[in-house]
C-alpha cells in the first residue's frame, strides 16, 4: 500500500471507521463533550467582567469597582488554565485504545487475505500499516484537543452574547451557523478534490515509471506516440485536479468573513438601537465586540485554517485505512501494484500469481482513417497455457501482442491481464520482440536486465541452456550486438525474457532467426519456466506444439486447439498449407 490515496473508498468510509472506533467508548467521549460547556465558563465570565469593569467601574468613575472586576478577570484566566487539565484523563481514554483496535483490524484483514489468496505477509506492509495507525492516533488526539479548545471558547462567547442581550445572538447566530455550514461544505469539497488530485498525481507517477521501464518494449513496437498519449492525458488530468483544489482552497477567506466580519458589522448596526432603548450599555457593547473579535474570530479562524488541514489529513488517513481493511488489510495492492509473483527459474516455486488474459470485443486502428486492424476480437488465455498466435502477414498479430503488453490501448473493448488493464513495465508480462535488442554492456548485464537479482550461476545456466555457451558473462557487447549473429542476438533476448520473474511471456516472432531445433529448444525452455507462454508463431511447427491456437484474421480471433482448427477453419487449413510445403527446409512464412 502506498502512503498515497490509492484506494477507491469515499471520505464517508473514513468517517464511518473513525466514528465506529470512537463510539465504542461512550463515557469518556461524553466526558470530553461535557467539558466543552464547563470550560466555556471562563470565556463567558471574561466578557461579563469586561462589561462590568467598564459600565460599573471606569465609565461610572468608580475605579475601585473597575479594578475589582479586572482582578476577577485575572482570577478567571488562572482558574481556566488549571481547569484545562481536566480534559486530559477522558481524552487519553478515548484516544489510546484507537491504535490497538485499528492495528488489530488491519492485521486481521491482511491475514485473512493472505490465507484466502495464498500470498505471503510482507513485514514491510504491516510495519507501514502500524505507522499509519500511529499517525492516525496522534492526529485524532490533536484534532480532539484543539476542537475542544476552539469549541469551548465559541460556546462561552455565544452564552456571553445571550447574557448581554438575546437580540445580539439573533443577529450573530445566523452568521455563525452560515460560516460553520459553509466550512463544512468546503471541507468536503477540499477533501474530495484533494483526493482526486492525489490520485491523479499517483496515477501519473505510476504511469511515467511504467512507461519509462517499458521503453525497450515501446521502442520494439515503434509505439512511442501511443505510449506518450496516455502519459500526456494523465498530466492534463493532474493539472485540472490541482486547479480545482486551488479554487476550493481560496474559498476559506469567504467562510471566515461571513462568521466574523459580517457578524461584527451587523452587531454595530444593531448597537445604536439597543443602546437607545437602554438595553445595552457602552461597556456591554465593548464586551459583545470582545466576544465576536477575540473569541468567535480566533475560534473560526483556527477551525478554517488550522483545523481544516488536520481534519482533512485525518479523514484522508482514515479513508486509506478503511480502504485497506475493506480490501484485505495492509497487504492490499501488494500483489497487483506492479509486483507480480515471480515465475522465473530463480523464483521460489509454488508462489505464482495466476493472471488470466481476457480480451473482449477488442478494436484497434492505427489512425482514425485507417481500416481497423482488430475489430471485435475476443478470447481468453487461462494461466499456464501455451498459446500460439497465427495469421497471415499483416493480420495484426504484433498489434495484438502490443495490446496484451499494454504498449497500445484498445480503441474499443477491453484487454485484461489478471483482472486489470495491462500496464507496460508492470512486470506481469515479459516480451521478446520481433527485433531483438542487445544493449551496450556485458553479457551479464544483458541477461540480467529483467532479473537483476539473478546469480551468476543462474545466468550461466540460462545462457548454456539457450546455446550461448561460447559467451563469457564478462564479455562486453556493443549496442545492437555487433559481432553476434542474428540468431545469437535473438538467443540473448530469449534468455533475458526466460530469466524474468513475469508470470506471462510473449514471444513476438522472437525465434525467426533460429533453426527449427534451436526454436524448439527455446520453446521447451520457456514452457519449463512455468507461467503462460504466448508465441506469435513463425512456423507451423510452433503452432502445432501449442495447447491452444489463436487465429487472427480479418480483425477477428478464432481460438481452438491446432487439430480442431485444421478441421474447422478453411483459413487455418490454408495457412497450414502455406507453411507445410516448406517443411524440412525452413517452414516459416
Ligand atoms: N506503427 C504502425 N503504423 C501504422 N500501421 C501499422 C503500424 N504497425 C503495423 N501497422 C499495420 O497494421 C497491420 C497489422 O500489422 P501487424 O504488424 O500487427 O501484423 P502482423 O500480423 O504481426 O504482421 P507480420 O506477420 O507481417 O509481422 C498491418 O497492415 C500493418 O501495416
pLDDT in tens, 511-538: 888 888 888 899 999 988 888 999 998 7
Cell 480471433, residue?
A: 557
Same domain flag for 324 and 365:
no
Residues 6+ apart with CB under 8 A from 363: 372, 374, 375, 376, 377, 410, 411, 412, 413, 555
Q: Which pLDDT score is estimated for 330?
A: 43
Residue 242, domain member (yes or no): no
Which mutation among 222, 389, 398 tests ligand 1's pocket best, with the greatest number of atoms within 8 A of CB? 398
* Structure ipTM: 0.97
What ligand 1 atom has the least distance to the C-alpha of 395?
Answer: 21
In this structure, which residue's CA is closest to atom 31 in ligand 1? 394
**Distance of CA 413 from the midpoint of ligand 1 (Å):** 20
Same domain flag for 301 and 397:
no
Give dist(CA 34, CA 29) in Å, integer.
9
Residue percentage of the chain with pLDDT more than 70: 89
The angle at the Cα of 197, spanning 191 to 200, to the nearest 5 degrees, equals 140
Residue 222, domain member (yes or no): no
- Mind listing the pLDDT tens digit for each residue in 544-563? 888 889 999 999 999 888 88
In this structure, which residue's CA is closest to atom 18 in ligand 1? 396
Q: Which pLDDT score is estimated for 338?
A: 30
- The burial of 348, by beta-carbon neighbours within 10 Å (0-12 exposed, 13-18 middle, 19 or more buried), is given as exposed
Count other C-beta atoms under 10 Å from residue 420's C-beta.
14
Q: Which pLDDT score is estimated for 434?
A: 83
**Distance of CA 556 from the midpoint of ligand 1 (Å):** 15
pTM: 0.52
Give dist(CA 96, CA 221) in Å, integer.
56
Q: What cell does 178 get?
A: 452560515
Q: Is residue 419 helix, strand or coil?
A: coil
Q: Which pLDDT score is estimated for 156?
A: 94
Give dist(CA 542, CA 480) in Å, integer.
27
**pLDDT exceeds cutoff 90 at 314:** no
In this structure, which residue's CA is closest to atom 10 in ligand 1? 366
Q: Which pLDDT score is estimated for 9?
A: 59
Same domain flag for 397 and 484:
yes
CA of residue 226 relative to chain centroid, distance: 24
Residue 203, domain member (yes or no): no
What ligand 1 atom has the least distance to the C-alpha of 536?
Answer: 22
Same domain flag for 263 and 385:
no
Same domain flag for 318 and 466:
no
CB 511 within 8 Å of CB 518: yes
Which mutation among 393, 394, 435 tests ligand 1's pocket best, with the greatest number of atoms within 8 A of CB? 394
Task: Choose the weakest-confidence range: 115-124, 157-166, 183-192, 461-470.
Answer: 115-124
What would the mean pLDDT of 377-404 be, rounded to a whole number?
Answer: 90
Q: Is residue 377 helix, strand or coil?
A: strand
Give dist(CA 418, CA 535) in Å, integer.
19
Same domain flag for 324 and 373:
no
Report the CATH number at residue 434: 3.40.50.300
Q: Is residue 477 helix, strand or coil?
A: strand
- Mind listing the pLDDT tens digit for each residue in 329-352? 443 333 222 333 334 444 433 333
What ligand 1 atom has the least distance to the C-alpha of 434?
Answer: 27
Q: Which pLDDT score is estimated for 346?
A: 42
Give dist(CA 162, CA 171) in Å, integer.
11
Residue 58, domain member (yes or no): yes
Residue 366, domain member (yes or no): yes
Task: Please provide the size of the chain in residues.
Answer: 589
Same domain flag for 307 and 436:
no
Q: Which pLDDT score is estimated for 287?
A: 95
pLDDT band at 589 (very low <50, low <70, confident <90, very high): very low
Beta bridge partners of 475: none
Report the CATH number at residue 120: 1.20.1560.10
In this structure, which residue's CA is closest to atom 3 in ligand 1? 366
CA of residue 561 relative to chain centroid, distance: 41
Closest CA to 365 of 377, 382, 351: 377
Q: What cell does 464 get?
A: 548454456
**Distance of CA 373 from the midpoint of ligand 1 (Å):** 8
Same domain flag for 37 and 105:
yes
In this structure, which residue's CA is closest to atom 4 in ligand 1? 366
CA of residue 73 relative to chain centroid, distance: 53
Q: How many CA atoms are closer than 13 Å to the CA of 317, on its beta-carbon side?
A: 21
Which mutation among 392, 393, 395 tests ligand 1's pocket best, with the greatest number of atoms within 8 A of CB? 395
What ligand 1 atom has the least distance to the C-alpha of 396?
Answer: 18
In this structure, which residue's CA is closest to atom 9 in ligand 1? 399
Q: How many domains does the chain have?
A: 2
The more confident residue out of 538 and 3 is: 538
CB 211 within 8 Å of CB 227: yes
CB 360 within 8 Å of CB 379: no
Give dist(CA 340, CA 23) in Å, integer.
40
Last residue of a domain, one of 290, 314, 331: 331
In this structure, which residue's CA is closest to atom 16 in ligand 1? 396
What would the mean pLDDT of 133-154 be, rounded to a whole number?
Answer: 87
What ligand 1 atom has the least distance to the C-alpha of 367?
Answer: 4
Same domain flag for 468 and 506:
yes
Which mutation among 396, 508, 578 tests ligand 1's pocket best, with the greatest number of atoms within 8 A of CB? 396
- Mind listing the pLDDT tens digit for each residue in 349-389? 333 357 888 899 999 999 888 899 999 998 888 888 899 99
What ligand 1 atom has the least distance to the C-alpha of 222?
Answer: 1
Closest CA to 287 of 266, 265, 298, 271: 271
Same domain flag for 273 and 140:
yes
Last residue of a domain, one of 331, 347, 379: 331
Give dist(CA 247, CA 216) in Å, integer.
41
CA of residue 203 relative to chain centroid, distance: 7
**Distance of CA 264 from the midpoint of ligand 1 (Å):** 73
Closest CA to 287 of 50, 38, 27: 50
The more confident residue out of 420 and 540 is: 420
Same domain flag for 321 and 362:
no
Give dist(CA 197, CA 193) in Å, integer.
6
**Distance of CA 399 from the midpoint of ligand 1 (Å):** 6
- Mind listing the pLDDT tens digit for each residue in 471-484? 999 999 998 888 89
Residue 339, domain member (yes or no): no
Closest CA to 283 of 275, 292, 293: 275
What would the mean pLDDT of 96-115 be, rounded to a whole number?
Answer: 79
Q: Which pLDDT score is estimated for 578?
A: 65
CB-based pocket (< 6 A), ligand 1: 222, 366, 373, 391, 393-399
**Residue 453 structural domain:** 357-582
Closest CA to 549 of 532, 528, 572: 572
Q: What cell does 184 get?
A: 463544512
Residue percentage of the chain with pLDDT more than 90: 39
- The burial of 418, by beta-carbon neighbours within 10 Å (0-12 exposed, 13-18 middle, 19 or more buried), is given as buried
**Distance of CA 504 from the midpoint of ligand 1 (Å):** 23
Which mutation among 397, 410, 506 tests ligand 1's pocket best, with the greatest number of atoms within 8 A of CB? 397
**Distance of CA 221 from the midpoint of ligand 1 (Å):** 10
Residue 219, domain member (yes or no): no
What ligand 1 atom has the least distance to the C-alpha of 401?
Answer: 18
Residues 6+ apart with CB under 8 A from 20: none
**Distance of CA 379 from the midpoint of ligand 1 (Å):** 20
**Distance of CA 419 from the midpoint of ligand 1 (Å):** 27
Residue 196, domain member (yes or no): no
What is the residue-averaged pLDDT of the chain?
84
Q: Which pLDDT score is estimated for 168?
A: 93
**pLDDT exceeds cutoff 50 at 273:** yes
Same domain flag for 366 and 287:
no
What would the mean pLDDT of 97-122 be, rounded to a whole number?
Answer: 73
Q: Which pLDDT score is estimated for 124?
A: 61
pLDDT band at 7 (very low <50, low <70, confident <90, very high): very low
Amino acid at each position: 500500500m502506498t502512503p498515497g490515496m490509492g484506494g477507491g473508498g469515499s471520505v464517508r468510509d473514513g468517517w464511518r471507521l473513525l466514528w465506529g472506533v470512537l463510539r465504542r467508548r461512550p463515557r469518556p467521549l461524553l466526558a470530553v463533550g461535557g467539558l466543552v460547556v464547563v470550560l466555556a465558563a471562563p470565556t463567558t465570565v471574561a466578557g461579563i467582567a469586561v462589561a462590568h469593569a467598564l459600565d460599573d467601574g471606569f465609565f461610572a468613575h468608580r475605579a475601585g469597582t473597575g479594578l475589582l472586576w479586572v482582578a476577577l478577570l485575572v482570577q478567571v484566566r488562572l482558574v481556566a488554565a488549571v481547569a484545562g487539565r481536566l480534559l486530559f484523563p477522558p481524552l487519553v481514554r478515548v484516544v489510546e485504545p484507537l491504535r490497538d483496535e485499528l492495528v488489530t483490524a488491519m492485521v486481521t484483514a491482511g491475514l485473512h487475505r493472505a490465507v484466502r489468496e495464498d500470498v505471503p505477509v510482507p513485514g514491510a506492509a504491516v510495519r507501514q500499516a502500524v505507522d499509519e495507525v500511529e499517525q492516525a492516533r496522534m492526529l485524532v488526539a490533536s484534532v480532539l484537543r484543539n476542537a475542544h479548545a476552539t469549541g469551548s471558547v465559541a460556546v462561552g462567547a455565544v452564552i456571553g452574547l445571550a447574557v448581554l442581550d438575546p437580540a445580539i445572538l439573533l443577529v450573530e447566530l445566523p452568521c455563525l451557523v452560515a460560516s460553520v455550514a459553509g466550512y463544512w461544505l468546503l471541507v468536503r469539497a477540499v477533501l474530495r478534490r484533494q483526493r482526486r488530485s492525489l490520485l491523479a498525481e499517483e496515477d501519473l507517477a505510476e504511469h511515467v515509471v511504467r512507461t519509462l521501464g517499458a521503453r525497450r518494449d515501446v521502442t520494439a513496437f515503434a509505439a512511442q506516440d501511443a505510449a506518450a498519449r496516455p502519459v500526456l492525458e494523465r498530466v492534463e488530468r493532474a493539472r485540472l485536479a490541482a486547479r480545482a483544489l486551488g479554487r476550493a482552497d481560496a474559498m476559506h477567506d469567504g467562510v471566515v468573513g461571513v462568521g466574523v466580519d459580517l457578524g461584527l458589522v451587523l452587531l454595530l448596526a444593531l448597537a445604536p438601537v439597543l443602546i437607545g432603548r437602554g438595553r445595552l450599555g457602552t461597556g456591554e457593547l465593548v464586551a459583545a465586540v470582545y466576544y465576536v473579535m477575540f473569541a468567535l474570530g480566533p475560534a473560526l479562524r483556527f477551525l478554517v485554517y488550522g483545523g481544516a488541514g488536520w481534519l482533512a489529513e485525518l479523514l484522508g488517513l482514515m479513508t486509506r485505512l478503511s480502504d485497506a481493511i475493506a480490501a484485505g488489510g495492509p497487504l492490499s495492492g501488494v500483489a497487483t501494484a506492479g509486483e507480480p509473483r515471480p515465475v522465473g527459474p530463480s523464483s521460489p516455486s509454488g508462489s505464482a500469481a495466476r493472471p488470466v488474459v481476457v480480451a473482449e470485443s477488442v478494436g484497434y486502428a492505427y489512425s482514425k482513417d485507417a481500416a481497423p486492424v482488430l475489430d471485435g476480437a475476443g478470447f481468453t488465455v487461462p494461466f499456464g497455457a501455451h498459446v500460439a498466435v497465427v495469421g497471415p502477414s499483416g493480420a495484426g498479430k504484433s498489434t495484438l501482442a502490443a495490446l496484451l503488453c499494454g504498449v497500445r490501448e484498445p480503441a474499443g473493448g477491453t484487454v485484461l491481464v489478471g483482472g486489470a488493464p495491462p500496464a507496460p513495465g508492470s512486470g506481469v508480462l515479459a516480451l521478446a520482440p520481433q527485433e531483438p535488442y542487445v544493449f551496450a554492456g556485458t553479457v551479464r548485464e544483458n541477461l540480467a536486465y529483467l532479473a537483476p537479482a539473478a546469480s551468476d550461476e543462474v545466468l550461466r545456466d540460462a545462457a548454456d541452456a539457450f546455446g550461448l555457451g561460447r559467451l563469457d558473462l564478462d564479455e562486453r557487447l556493443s549496442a545492437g550486438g555487433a559481432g553476434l549473429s542474428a540468431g545469437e542476438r535473438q538467443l540473448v533476448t530469449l534468455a533475458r525474457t526466460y530469466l524474468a520473474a513475469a508470470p506471462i511471456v510473449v514471444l513476438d516472432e522472437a525465434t525467426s532467426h533460429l533453426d527449427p531445433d534451436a526454436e524448439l529448444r527455446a520453446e521447451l525452455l520457456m514452457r519449463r519456466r512455468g507461467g503462460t507462454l504466448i508465441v506469435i508463431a513463425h512456423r507451423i511447427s510452433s503452432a502445432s506444439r501449442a495447447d491452444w491456437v489463436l487465429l487472427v484474421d480479418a480483425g477477428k480471433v478464432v481460438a481452438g486447439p491446432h487439430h480442431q482448427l485444421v478441421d474447422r477453419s478453411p483459413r487455418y487449413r490454408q495457412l497450414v498449407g502455406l507453411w507445410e510445403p516448406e517443411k524440412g527446409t525452413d517452414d516459416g512464412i
